[in-house]
Every structure is written in structure tokens, then in C-alpha cells.
Structure 1
Amino acid sequence: MSLGISDDQVELADSLRKWAASIGPVEAVRAAEGEAGADFAAVWAAVEEMGVAAIAVPESAGGGGGTVLDQAVALEACAHELVPGGLLGAAIGGVLTGRPGRHGVQVHPGGAVWDGGTATELLLLDDGEVTAEVGIDLSARHARVSGGTPPAAADERRRLLAVTLAAAEAAGVARWCLETAVDYAKVREQFGQRIGAFQAVKHLCAQMLETAESVTAAAWDAAAAATALDEGAGDDAQWAFAADVAQATCFDGAVEVAKSCIQVLGGIGFTYEHDAHLYLRRALTLRALVGSSDAAAERITAAAVSGVRRQVDVDLEGRDAAVRPEARATAERIASLEPADQRAALVDAGYLTPHWPAPYGLGADPTLQIVIDQELGRAGVVRPDLVIAGWAVPTILSHGTDAQRERFVRPSLLGELTWCQLFSEPGSGSDLASLRTRATRVEGGWSLTGQKVWTSVAERADWGICLARTDPDAPQHKGITYFLVDMRSAGIEVRPLREITGEALFNEVFLDEVFVPDECVVAEPGDGWRLARTTLANERVAMASARLTKSVERAVELAASRDLGAVARVQVGHQVALATVCALLGVRTTLRALGGHGPGAESSVAKLLGVRSRQDSSELVVRLQGDELALLGALGKESGDPLAADVWEQLNTRCLSIAGGTTQILRNVAGERILGLPR
């Protein structure tokens, strides 16, 4: 997906990619190899004619009058095609000076002059002689400064802007590398099949997708923060935080994706004739120019300790004006009730599940959903978690009978019914199509026999949603039926499973000729697989936020209260950056929904990255406390010992890469359904 989200920005990126490809950028790069004085004049003439480097320069000065975010979208598109000749330096200089020009910019005192070898105007922090060099990035001519007197400090705005716009280029590089690797994996054959069908290659491409989406989200947010500041809606601390997250994420990420691209390409990717090494060279150079990701991570820790968190506001562009007064009044009315009465009031108002259809919700569009979230949050009303009912009830709403809806929906919303999920089996976890629990026809219904496992809250559930095989002769995906099972029925035995935390949150459930009446079959026999994979068409749109997760906040707390040392503070900062990126992926999904678009790839990789964030941060929290772990007494989050709670969290998060589809299976899904790799 493009760095931009709005239709205008997506269209800008698409048109610029096509234009950039048409001017022969890679050919120009190869033709100028080894020429320190190469100025890529023909390419620059085309860039000037299009006004690409001056998109964020005021119209009164001959620019496009756009925002920093618009400029970043353009840079990403041009980096995707490896446009040479100083576009990045010119864009930075244009924003800083407010006028178009072929600028070279020295960002760090004593450091390289970005695009100084092709510039006609230099923005230097120190005086001295400038000499163009051929670096490893063959598409640029940066310059060195010799002599002169460096100033005491860098210009902070210049640094932040440079990181922000360079991150956009890193996003374009990562996107090209991902697309190139995937396209090759779809057609290259080895051992009698296309290499994209091999799980190792598929997983590598899926990991490239995760990284590329992270780079894109962080680059977008840095540019959005800069734009908000320019428009009077942001502040310096927010831009600095967003830029540091981009520095900690984008440049290492682009290098990793470029290296993985060469790995997927194999021998051809290692040749000089293939373009992959040109993108790796650009990524390595961008990383060198902006500086250490660890330095950015240490600044992130310092900012987080001082209370800074990334605050992302969603601009509803006035679409909320008509609905906000009623939403605010309703939220305030619910907040005024006794806590015990608030749930019923939420249900009656349709505010517990506003995305569900009436009478159980409001059939709310994305704007109304976000406004209701905002107003409930403002009033201090916390929605109760529906847990498994949040999966069961939408299926009943979409595919059940009127009688089933009348019987189950409202009681579930009110918390009068607790649900569990009877899907996984000892021999079929993620592979639900291979389940063996059988349902045989009996008078008035079905008799279910089999074993389910990993079933949360089965010991106290009133009802379970259950998949069972009703036609053993049908293909795997065809003979499965979706049942609603009364967990008090004869023939059900629930056995707790003790997990690595020492607690028993999961259960085994044994079904021995359990009778399920026909009125508890959802849809038709044989429809179970389809029902298990579908939810309501009107998906839930969450209010955009960039809050840190529990373990990351705990790591920040330890950084504030202990002398951790530089290495540990860097580790904390990287976890803050990753958690922020995970939240930003959700923000981008929300904004797409507001624009009337379906979710992009970021929504599909959010779970993969979110799991990594929660597991890594919870492990870091324990590691930061040194050998105290060896002396830990009773384990348990309720023990009152903070370390005991931290260890419990570390152990408990190990399930996240297994539950709801293992990380490995989800990478297969991402590879096949998002990237289009062969099965």
C-alpha cells in the first residue's frame, strides 16, 4: 500500500511512479557509474518540470503548496523507481527555505552534504570546501566538507525534516524490494514447482511484508506529525517522537527487506546486472546518512520516561458534526448511571456494539463508530468485553434464524450468557478442515461425539459454538456443520489444562453422544466451514490510538526508576518504537475505513507484529530485573510481587503466537492471500 492514505495521495503516488518509470531512472544511474561529477541533468530537468521536489514549497514561491506529507508521498513513489540526482536534498531544502532549488543539505555537523554533489545551492552547518563523491549509492552524489569550523550543534528542525523525508524514501525502497521478490517467487521454478510455494520462501516474503508495512507506517506518521505541526495542530515533541520512531524503524527495516529481496532472487539477485543491489545500496546509504537507530531508541526512552506518547488525532473532516451532540448526550447519560446499570444502558442504546445491525446495534458507519468510541471514552464509560460472544453472536446475526437471534443475542450482550469456542482439536489446531468430532443424525437433531481442546472458559460457559463433521464422505471443507451447544448437556466433560503459568485457563472438552436439537444448527448442515470464516460485513472500526501495551509501559517504568545503563535503555526504546508502529498500523486501518476503503495489508500483519511486540517486551521487562528472577517466590499476577506479575506476563504471552492461528500459519495466509504466492 502507498505511504499516503487519502485518495488524492494514493493517486499522486500512482501517477508519480508511472512518470518516474518513464524517464529511465535506472538507466541513468547505470550510465553515470563512476562519475563523481555526474549531475543526472536530464533526469533533473524532468523532475523540475514536474515540480516533484517543490511539492511542499508555497505556491507563492513557485511550489506546489502541499504539505510535508504530500512531499513524503512523492519521495516514496520516486524512490520506488530509484529516481537519481538529488531529489531528497532538494525536497529538504525546499521545505527549509520555502523556495524551490537544487539543494544540498548538511544535516549533521561535520557530516556528509546530502546530495551536495549535484546541488547548485548548499545549506551547510559549517563552512568549508565541498567535494562531490561517488558513494555506494550509485543513484546519488553526496559530498564531503573539508576545512572550515563546524558549529557547536545541529539545527534540530533540519535533522527532523531530513529523517522524516529520508524515511519516505526508505519506504519506497522497501516496497520495491518486496514487490520484486514476490513477483520472482511467483514464477521462478525449482524442484518442479514455483519457489513461492515453498514455506521457507513464503515466510521470508511474509516477513518482508511485515517489515515493509512497519517502515511505511512509521514514515507516514513522521510526515503526518510534521504536517500537523505546520498546520498548528501538533507540537515539537510529537514530531520529534514520531521522527525518532521512524529513525529506529525505517532504515534498518529497508536494509533488511533489501537483503531479503536478494535472498529470494538467489544467484540472479547477486549479479551486478540485476537492479536489486542498487536498492540495497540506497538503503544502506540512507541508514548511514540519518545516523544510528540505537541513538534514536535512546531518545525515545528518554521521551517516554518524561511522559511523551504518540498522540494521533483522526480528522473526521466535519462528518461528525451531525452525530456528535447525540452521541455525547447518550454517553453522558450512561456515565451518570450506577456501574451495575451501565451495561444494559449500552445495549439499549446500541452503543455496546454500534457496528451491529439494529435492534442490537446501530448499523453505524465508521464515522459514527469512532464518535461513539470518543464520547464513551470522554465520559469514562468502559465497554465490557464480549470475549467469545463477540465471535459467536455475529455469526448468529448473519446466518441464524429469527428464533436463534431472539434467544441468544440480547442475553449475550447483557452478559447473561457466557460462550466458549469448540473448534480446535488435538489433531487439528489451525487446520480446522481436518477436525474429527462427528455429528450423526438422530431424531430431532444430532448426536455429537469427539474431543475439543484449548477451550477458554469452558468450565463456566453456558453455550459453545462447535464445529463438527456431519458428512464424512464430503471433501474436508464441505462436510462441516456449525452447532450451538448447551454446555450443561448430558455427555459433556470439561477437564482443565494447566498452562506454563501454573494456572488453568484452557480446558479439554469431551463430547460423548451430546444431543443438539435441530434448532441449534446455524444455517444449513455442511455450511460450517463458510460460517467459521465469515463475520458481519459491517466490520468493527476501532477508535484510532497509539497507546503503548502493558509490558512496554512497564519497561518505561523500569527505565524511569532504575539506572539501567545505555544498552538497556536502547532496548526499551526499540520496544516503545515497535509498540508505537503496531498502534499506527491500526490507525491507518481506521483512516482507510473512514475513507470508504477496505483494510489494507497493515491490518493483516498487525497481529503478527503485535504478537512479537508483546512477547519481546514482556521478556525484556523480566530481563531488565537481572538475577532477581532466580530468587522469585510465588508466581502469579495476583501475588503482589511486581516481578511475579512480570514473569507471569512473560510466560503467558507465549500463547499469543499459537492462539488464533500460529504465527507460521498466519505467515502462510499472508503470503498466499495478500502477496498472491502459490499454495
Structure 2
Amino acid sequence: MSIGITDEQEELAASLRKWAASLGAIEAIRAAEDRVDERFDDIWAAADEMGVTAIAVPESAGGGGGTLLDQAVALEACAYELVPGGLLGAAIGGLVSGQPDRYGVELRPGGPVLDGGTSEDVIAADGSFFEGRFEAALGVDLSARHGRVIEGGAQTADERVRRTAVTLAAAEASGVARWCLDTAVGYAKVREQFGKPIGSFQAIKHLCAEMLETAEAVTAAAWDAASAAAVLDSGQGDDEQWAFAVDVAAAVCFEGAVEVAKSCVQVLGGIGFTFEHDAHLYLRRAVSLRALFGSADEAAARLTAAAVTGVRRRVDVDLGGLDEPIRPDVRAAAKRIAALPAEEQRAALVETGYLTPHWPAPYGLAADAVTQVVIDQELARAGVTRPDLVIAGWAVPTILQHGTDEQRDRFVRPSLLGELVWCQLFSEPGSGSDLASLRTKATRVEGGWSLSGQKVWSSVAERADWAICLARTDPDVPQHQGITYFLVDMTSAGIDVRPLREITGEALFNEVFLDDVFVPDECVVAEPGDGWRLARTTLANERVAMASARLGKSVERAVDLATAGLGPVETARVGHAVALATVCGLLGVRTTLRAISGHGPGAESSVAKLLGVRSRQSSSELVVELQGDAIAALGAIDRFADGLSADVWEMLNTRCLSIAGGTTQILRNVAGERILGLPR
């Protein structure tokens, strides 16, 4: 997916990428490999005629009158095709000066002049026109001609120049990362080794999935920096928010593009190491961008400093006026719910449909994306927190979609009200992520089924009223076809729940033994043999939600620890944790915006769990590490205690996140196959 989300932005990206592919950019770069005086004038003339670098310059000055986000979309598309000719410098210079032209840009006082070797004019680091001398020079990026300052230039730096430069350079980094991902995946689909496409090998599949994760993070951060700038330019934004978004982009985008480019070469193997393949040209562009646009650690340190003062990224979503007809009624209802005693608010949320607005009536509102967002916003404004449905959030949608009217009447409303607690009996000792291999069997008896077997990793089974359970009803058909979905009364005879003590020292999981447990026919969901399909069900009208401005428990704790002062290394590590947590939130925002625009979820929704797990696990470890050797003499670990004891509990507990709900490795297989199209 590209930076652009709206139809107009996607059309702009597609048309410019097609145009850029027609320019012969790579051939021009190779032909000018050793020529420091090469300005790529023919390509610049074509870009100038298209107005590529003046999209965000006011129409009154001869520009396109678009937003900085529009400009970022264009630069990403051109970077995908590695268009030379100084487009980045020209775009930055046009925005800073307000006049379209061919510019170089001094990135810091006395520092390099971006695209100085192709420029007509130079914008100094303080935003003025450059007064001094510089010379064009060849660098690692064969597609660019930057400059070295000989004398003169700015004595001070202007933040607007720096932020504009980082924002648009991040868009280029996204384009580079996208090309590298697409190239690696395309090669992995056709290159054969040992008689099979290399994309079918798990090592390659995981490497490509990791590239996808990083590319999505780069794109999300680049999009947000450009979006924040566009909102600010409209007069509705906040300079502090743009600064924060820019530092997230600086911490994520350039290093991320380098990592994806390196992985591209790795997937390509020997061919990727040759000069003839284009991969090294993209690696060179990525390495050059990383060098030009400042240290990721410096940006991370600024993020820590901002976070300590309370700054968090708050993304305002423009609903395009679609919320206006519904917002007054939603706001009034949210206020009424907030005015109720706490113990009555859940029932009111159920009655209004606001607890699960995406569910069909009468249990929800079958709400579209805009309505869901408005309800979220107004409940948050009123201070109303929805209760967590936990396992009922998985069980009830299946009953709604596939159950009988009797099952819906019996189970849905009591579950919403919290009168019924559910657990899940899916995993077994010999079948974790591989549910199709489960061995719990269900034998036909008069009036129903008799279930026998062992389940494991079942949270709250010790106090659950009901369970969703998969059992094998037909051993003579292929594994996926012989499974049935049961609703099991946890008070039934023959159920033995035994606690499992986890690495935290607590027993939150259980193993459950089923010994001839009777389940009546009315507690079978759908038909016998439908269990595998039902286990994977989701409602067609999926949940849409805006991300919280909070960074997550452990990242917020790390920021708290930073208030006491940390060394430069630790300060940067906290900032990187802030950046990753922010990106995880941005992925959710982009998914929501796609839904509002009428599009299905993009790749960002699929990698959000992978990046979210990484964020939670690494940040919880960081919190403990920041407190030094005190862990060695900690005493008893208590998650309810303050300070280090609770921190250690959180660190240990988050180890389950890369296992529960599908291991990280299995999810990367899924991402490789279902998103990237790699062979099984």
C-alpha cells in the first residue's frame, strides 16, 4: 500500500508511477554513473512539465495548490521508479520559498546541499537563499548529485526547513522500501531452488513478511508526517504535533528503508549482489537518505523529551461532513449513559447498541465505519469506557452469524450484559496453531454428542459459564472437514479444570479434561463438520476504532522513568519505543480511514499484530533494563505491586503475546502467503 489513502491520492500515485516508469530513469542513472556534472535535464524537463515538484505550491505562484500530503504521494511514486533529477530538493525548496523552481537545499549549517548538483537555486538551512560557494559531488547514491559547501551558507537552522525536508524525504524512503519489497516478493515467487520456488521456503517467507512489516511502518510514519503538515497548513493543526510526527518519521523511515533494501538483496541472492541488477541502486538511495536526514537516535531523543512533557500523537480524522447528521444524537446518548451510575452503564450500552455498534441489530446497529468512529469519539468525550467482552467477543459473533434463533436468544444478550462468561476450548497439547490436527473427539449419542479429550491454554476456564469448543466428529474425512463447533456448558459432568502456572508465577491458564461430556444437539453451531469454517469466522461488518493517544502500558512506564533523567543511549531507546508504539497506532488509523473511504483493510491491518507484539514485548523489557541490577534482588513478583515488581511481571507476561492467537512465526507464514502471495 502507498502513502495515499483516498481515491484521489491512489489515482495520483498510480498515474505518476506509470509516468515515471516511462522515463527510462534507471538507464539514465547508469549512463551517467561517473559524471558529476550530470543534471538529468531531460528527466527534469518532463517532471517540470508535469508539475511533479510543485504540487503543494500555491496556484497563485504557479503551483498545483495541493497539500503537502499530495506532494508526498507524488514523491513516493517517483522514488519507486528511482527518478533522478533533484525532485526532492525542488519540492522542498518550492514549499519553503513559495515559488516552484529547481532547488538545492542546505540541510544544516555548513552541511551537504541536497540536490545541489542539479539546482538552479539553493535554499539555505535558515530558509534564506544560499549565499556562498559549493561544488557538486558524486556520492553513494548514483541517482543524485548533491553538493559540498565550500564557504558561506547559513549560520543557523530553521525548523520549518528541517521538518519539510524530513517529511518529504520520508516519502521517498517509503517509495524505495515499496520497490524493494515488491521486487523481493516477485523474485521469490519465480526463482526455484531444489525444485520449488524459494518463496515456499519458510526462511524466505519470514524474511519477506518482516520486510512487509517494516515497509508498512515506514509508509505509516511518512504518511503521518505529511498529514500533520497538511493539517497545520490548513490552519487547523498544531506545530507541536507536526514536530512529533516528523521525529517519528526520522526515527523509523530512513533506517527502515535501508533494512528493507538490504533484505531485498538477500532474497535476490547472488543476482542481487551484481551491479547489473537495480537493487543496489535502491540500497544506495536508502543509505544516502539515512545519512542526509540525521541520526535516528537524535530524533528518538527528541521524542523522549517531548513525551516526558506530555506530548502524544493525536490524529484528527476528517470525516468529510459525513458525521454531521448523526453526531448530535450520538453525543446526547453518550451523555445520558455517562450520567448513569457505573453499574448501570453496561446495560445502557447494550440497549443503545453502542457496546457493539458493528454487530447487526438488535444487538448492535450494523453501523458503518463513520458511525462507529463517531460513537467511539463521543463515548470517549463523555468518559464512558466499554467493558471488554473477552472470549465472548469471539463466541458471540459466531453465534450471531451461524447460530439458530434459539441460540441467539439464549446466549447473545446475556453475554453482552456480562451475565455469561465464556472460555475457549480450541488448543490442545498436540495442536496449538495447527487446529486442524486436534484430537478431541465427539461421538454421536442419543440427543446429542459425547466429547472426550484434553484442551489447554484456556483462560478463565475455572470460572467460565460456557465454552466454545472444537471437536472431531468425523475421523474419516480430511482434517479440516471433520470438525464441529460446540457450545459447552462448563458445569456439565465430566469436565475437569486444572490450573496451569505460568512463567509469572500465577495460574491464569488452565488445562481442561473432557470425559464423556454430553452436549445436546441444540448446542451445535451450524452443521456437523462446519467447525473449521466457523472457527475462522468474523462478521462482515468488522469493528472499526480509532487508536488511543496513549502509547501502551510499558512505553508510558518507560517515559515515566525518563522523567528522572537517563543517559543518551537509554534516552534514545525510550524514544525508539515511543516511535514504534506511535506507528502501531497509526496502522490502526490508516485501517479506519480506508474503511471510511469504502475500501477493505490494507496490509497495515494484518501486520498490526506483529508490530504490536514487538512493541509490547520490547518496551516491557526496556522498562526492566532501565532499572539496572535491582532485578537481581527483587523478591516476590507481584503484578499489583508498584514499581519494579510489577514491571518484571509485565515483562514475563508479555512473552505470551507472540504465542497466543497464532505464533509470530505462523502469522508471518500467513502474511507471506495471503498478503504477499508467496507459494505454500
Q: TM-score if structure 2 supplies the norm length?
A: 0.99
Alignment partner, residue 257 of structure 1:
260
Contact 2:459–2:509 under 8 Å retained in 1: yes
- Secondary structure in 1 aligned to 2:479? coil
Counterparts of 1:88-107 in structure 2, within 5 Å, are 88-107=88-107
Q: How many residues align?
A: 676
Contact 1:419–1:464 under 8 Å retained in 2: yes
Kindly indicate whether residue 589 of structure 2 is the aligned counterpart of residue 587 of structure 1.
yes
Alignment partner, residue 416 of structure 1:
419
Distance of 1:223 and 1:546 partners within structure 2: 18
Alignment partner, residue 656 of structure 1:
657
Contact 2:251–2:296 under 8 Å retained in 1: yes
Alignment partner, residue 604 of structure 2:
602
Contact 2:547–2:588 under 8 Å retained in 1: yes
Cα deviation, residue 82, structure 1: 0.2
Kindly indicate whether residue 443 of structure 2 is the aligned counterpart of residue 440 of structure 1.
yes
Alignment partner, residue 133 of structure 1:
137
Distance of 2:143 and 2:21 partners within structure 1: 14
Distance of 1:620 and 1:94 partners within structure 2: 42
Contact 2:109–2:153 under 8 Å retained in 1: no
- Secondary structure in 1 aligned to 2:117? coil
Match of 1:672, as an amino acid?
E
Match of 2:566, as an amino acid?
L
Alignment partner, residue 27 of structure 1:
27
- Secondary structure in 2 aligned to 1:64? coil
Query: Per-residue displacement from partner, 1:183-217 (whole Å, max 9, x unpaired)?
Result: 00000000110000000000000000000000000
Query: Per-residue displacement from partner, 1:117-172 (whole Å, max 9, x unpaired)?
Result: 00011112463211111111111100111122650x21110000000000000000
Distance of 2:256 and 2:457 partners within structure 1: 35
Give the alignment partner of residue 552 of structure 2, picking from 546, 549, 552: 549
Contact 2:181–2:212 under 8 Å retained in 1: yes
Distance of 2:493 and 2:41 partners within structure 1: 83
Counterparts of 1:557-568 in structure 2, within 5 Å, are 557-560=560-563, 562-568=564-570
Distance of 1:172 and 1:526 partners within structure 2: 46
Give the alignment partner of residue 279 of structure 2, picking from 263, 276, 279: 276
Distance of 1:230 and 1:66 partners within structure 2: 11
Contact 1:133–1:141 under 8 Å retained in 2: yes
Cα deviation, residue 627, structure 1: 1.1
Distance of 1:537 and 1:147 partners within structure 2: 63
For structure 1, which segment, 600-609 or 230-239, has the greater mean C-alpha deviation from structure 2 after superposition?
Answer: 230-239
Kindly indicate whether residue 649 of structure 2 is the aligned counterpart of residue 645 of structure 1.
no
Kindly indicate whether residue 258 of structure 2 is the aligned counterpart of residue 235 of structure 1.
no
Contact 2:134–2:151 under 8 Å retained in 1: no
Counterparts of 1:474-513 in structure 2, within 5 Å, are 474-513=477-516
Alignment partner, residue 539 of structure 2:
536
Kindly indicate whether residue 674 of structure 2 is the aligned counterpart of residue 673 of structure 1.
yes
Distance of 1:348 and 1:637 partners within structure 2: 35
* TM-align CA RMSD: 0.8
- Name the CA shift for 1:383/1:149 in 2 (closer, same or farther; >3 Å): closer
- Name the CA shift for 1:150/1:536 in 2 (closer, same or farther; >3 Å): closer
Match of 1:635, as an amino acid?
I
Query: Per-residue displacement from partner, 1:447-469 (whole Å, max 9, x unpaired)?
Result: 00000000000000000000000
Alignment partner, residue 365 of structure 1:
368
Contact 1:106–1:113 under 8 Å retained in 2: yes
Distance of 1:121 and 1:147 partners within structure 2: 16
Contact 1:545–1:584 under 8 Å retained in 2: no
Distance of 2:238 and 2:661 partners within structure 1: 39
Query: Per-residue displacement from partner, 1:219-273 (whole Å, max 9, x unpaired)?
Result: 0000001111101111111111100000000000000000000000000000000
Alignment partner, residue 297 of structure 2:
294
Distance of 1:36 and 1:28 partners within structure 2: 13
Distance of 1:233 and 1:660 partners within structure 2: 40
Cα deviation, residue 543, structure 1: 2.2
Distance of 1:641 and 1:160 partners within structure 2: 39
Contact 1:354–1:362 under 8 Å retained in 2: yes
Distance of 1:414 and 1:149 partners within structure 2: 68
Alignment partner, residue 574 of structure 1:
576
Contact 1:481–1:528 under 8 Å retained in 2: yes
Alignment partner, residue 63 of structure 2:
63
Cα deviation, residue 298, structure 1: 0.5
Cα deviation, residue 306, structure 1: 0.9
Contact 1:94–1:103 under 8 Å retained in 2: yes
Contact 1:450–1:511 under 8 Å retained in 2: yes
Query: Per-residue displacement from partner, 1:20-64 (whole Å, max 9, x unpaired)?
Result: 001111111111111000010110111011100100011111111
Contact 2:177–2:261 under 8 Å retained in 1: yes
Kindly indicate whether residue 406 of structure 2 is the aligned counterpart of residue 386 of structure 1.
no
Distance of 1:225 and 1:376 partners within structure 2: 25
Match of 2:90, as an amino acid?
A
Distance of 1:85 and 1:59 partners within structure 2: 23
Query: Per-residue displacement from partner, 1:352-400 (whole Å, max 9, x unpaired)?
Result: 1011111101111111111111111111111110000000000000000
Match of 2:322, as an amino acid?
R
Match of 1:140, as an amino acid?
A
Contact 1:314–1:544 under 8 Å retained in 2: no
Match of 1:120, as an amino acid?
E
Distance of 2:93 and 2:170 partners within structure 1: 16
Query: Per-residue displacement from partner, 1:532-557 (whole Å, max 9, x unpaired)?
Result: 11111010001244420010000000
Match of 1:345, as an amino acid?
A
- Secondary structure in 1 aligned to 2:5? coil
Give the alignment partner of residue 151 of structure 2, picking from 147, 156, 160: 147
- Secondary structure in 1 aligned to 2:56? coil
Contact 1:170–1:254 under 8 Å retained in 2: yes
Contact 1:544–1:590 under 8 Å retained in 2: no
Contact 1:399–1:523 under 8 Å retained in 2: yes
- Name the CA shift for 1:218/1:354 in 2 (closer, same or farther; >3 Å): same
Distance of 2:211 and 2:102 partners within structure 1: 34
Give the alignment partner of residue 215 of structure 1, picking from 218, 227, 230: 218
Cα deviation, residue 294, structure 1: 0.4
Match of 2:568, as an amino acid?
A
Identity %, equivalent residues = 78
Match of 1:667, as an amino acid?
R
Alignment partner, residue 166 of structure 1:
169
Distance of 1:169 and 1:298 partners within structure 2: 23
Match of 1:588, as an amino acid?
R
Distance of 2:273 and 2:132 partners within structure 1: 39
Runs of 4+ residues over 3 Å off in structure 1: none
Alignment partner, residue 525 of structure 1:
528
Match of 2:109, as an amino acid?
P
Match of 2:430, as an amino acid?
G
Q: TM-score if structure 1 supplies the norm length?
A: 0.99
Query: Per-residue displacement from partner, 1:629-652 (whole Å, max 9, x unpaired)?
Result: 1121221112x3311000000000
Alignment partner, residue 310 of structure 2:
307
Match of 2:427, as an amino acid?
S
Contact 2:23–2:43 under 8 Å retained in 1: yes
The unaligned stretches of length 5 or more in structure 2 are none
Alignment partner, residue 249 of structure 2:
246
Distance of 1:441 and 1:105 partners within structure 2: 77
Distance of 1:530 and 1:327 partners within structure 2: 36
Alignment partner, residue 430 of structure 2:
427
Match of 2:39, as an amino acid?
D
Query: Per-residue displacement from partner, 1:543-576 (whole Å, max 9, x unpaired)?
Result: 244420010000000000x231111000000000
Cα deviation, residue 2, structure 1: 1.1
Counterparts of 1:289-368 in structure 2, within 5 Å, are 289-368=292-371
Distance of 2:159 and 2:107 partners within structure 1: 9
Kindly indicate whether residue 109 of structure 2 is the aligned counterpart of residue 115 of structure 1.
no
Match of 1:664, as an amino acid?
Q
Distance of 1:71 and 1:207 partners within structure 2: 28
Distance of 2:133 and 2:414 partners within structure 1: 78
Contact 1:496–1:504 under 8 Å retained in 2: yes
Match of 2:618, as an amino acid?
D
- Secondary structure in 2 aligned to 1:547? coil
